Structure 1
């Protein structure tokens, strides 16, 4: 995996002494890995959780089971709840949640997309959908989602702190 180290280092500088944690599904730890590459990551990156199944999202992140079942765990509401829970569980200033599809399946109408949300001080500040074409499958889709989320995170940090 080729990381955009410049984006990661800018995130580290923009965070200064602020902290971030993640709750991931479709990216399966990609964001955790990427954020761990920040210089002196222990200052900014508190950690993350990968909750891949409905049961783990409900049990570990307190996601509403009815909402999870109704949306196949893929909705803006689910990611917003994941972002808030990541922030809460790790006592972090920012929380990032992401869930979606890395391969086209019937539940996604054979499309590739993910929802992500970013919270700051326990308030959702970004909630968006990323759509990919089918040239990104599996690990490539996971990486692309992670990259897109980090670019969005950098943009938010720049607006907040520059």
Structure 2
């Protein structure tokens, strides 16, 4: 029992010390003229779904939850959001080349149809973000139509990237 008490005490001390070492939370400025919502036509229903279920990880408008103040959770969340923004950031849409836009729009539909997004780890504390079948249908219909329009305007967007 003495051994277990010591281990628990060491873990408690490590946990307390970890609270002094948190990741820097970067809140990038949003240039409204570069956002998906400014550059493309996004129906109100789809905009609502994206804001509710996607923006925390795929925009610069992350609403950091209370548990983000607790290490090591803060490190995990900061890394998760950083990776999500790198993969797809709706607030930097204007900077994407047509090929990337077309690919991301296809991936949006694929990911929600396969129920890979939003992530299962996100949903327990964000039940409002859960997508219904109607939500998935609306996202796929919108992303497919927008992808078709982008490819019509930029035929090179339909071709896969050249391998080097």
Q: TM-score, normalised by structure 1?
A: 0.24
CA radius of gyration, larger in: 2
Structure 1 or 2: more helix by fraction = 2
Q: TM-score, normalised by structure 2?
A: 0.24
Structure 1 or 2: more strand by fraction = 1
